[in-house]
Amino acid sequence: MAGEYVIEEMISAKAIAARVEALAREISAHFAGTDKLVVVGLLRGSFIFIADLVRELDLPVEVDFLEVSSYGMGTESSREVRILKDLRGEIEGRDVLVVEDIIDTGHTIHHVLEILRTRRPARLEVCALLDKPSRREVDVRARWTGFEIPDRFVVGYGIDYAQRNRNLDHIGAVRFLE
């Protein structure tokens, strides 16, 4: 059970909206001319970010979703992810943008990219709203990152703590009470 905690605002809804708009401009410029961008949201944490991001893209897009298990039990070196819900569509020869809420150790996105690469997309890029570089265990980078954040436990804008607080309109840092 989650103990008592308070949530301190770290990134306001307004700051997120401005950053999402800027990211969408860069992504639209990068993929300009494509007629086949597939935007893949990693469930569940990316559901709000992807909803806002695709509405700002000036491109024809398809939206698809992938859900993978977190590694939980594995030792650090044996961490693997398992597909819980696969994409509905084929991505071979397509331009693919993976949308992630947060890159922490990097294991999730590293494995997702490995899986998707075997399906031979034309281009495969990542946009992550949040990045905690200080926690990285595998060398992965998103081409686009919304905000670099310190090593705090964060919630909101899709991100949960014990499955709660995903519906906050901002990013908050959890402070646990004694």
Q: Can you tell me which of 23, 38, 91, 101 binds ligand PRP, judged by CB under 6 A?
A: 101
Closest of 165, 168, 137 to residue 151, by C-alpha: 137
- Cα–Cα distance measured from residue 30 to residue 173, given in angstroms and rounded to the nearest whole number: 32
C-beta of 36 vs 87, nearer to ligand PRP: 87
Closest of 141, 176, 149 to residue 162, by C-alpha: 176
Catalytic-role residue among 104, 131, 139, 160: 104
Q: Can you tell me which of 13, 28, 34, 105 binds ligand PRP, judged by CB under 6 A?
A: 105
Phi-psi region of 78 (alpha: psi -120 to 50; beta: other; left: phi over 0): alpha
- Cα–Cα distance measured from residue 70 to residue 85, given in angstroms and rounded to the nearest whole number: 13
Encoding tokens for residue 78? 């044996």
Q: Is 141 in the site for ligand PRP (CB under 6 A)?
A: no
**Is residue 160 annotated as part of the catalytic site, yes or no?**
no
Report the nearest approach of ligand PRP to the CB of residue 58 (Å).
Answer: 26
C-beta of 54 vs 98, nearer to ligand PRP: 98
Residue 116: which residues within 8 A CB-CB, separation 6 or more?
40, 91, 96, 98, 124
Q: Can you tell me which of 16, 99, 108, 126 binds ligand PRP, judged by CB under 6 A?
A: 108
From residue 158 to residue 177, what is the string marking binding to ligand PRP with x (rule CB under 6 A)?
Answer: --x-----------------
Q: Is 94 in the site for ligand PRP (CB under 6 A)?
A: no
Residue 98 in 3-state DSSP? strand
C-beta of 59 vs 165, nearer to ligand PRP: 165
List active site positions. Answer: 104
Binding stretches for ligand PRP (CB under 6 A): 42-45, 70, 100-108, 160
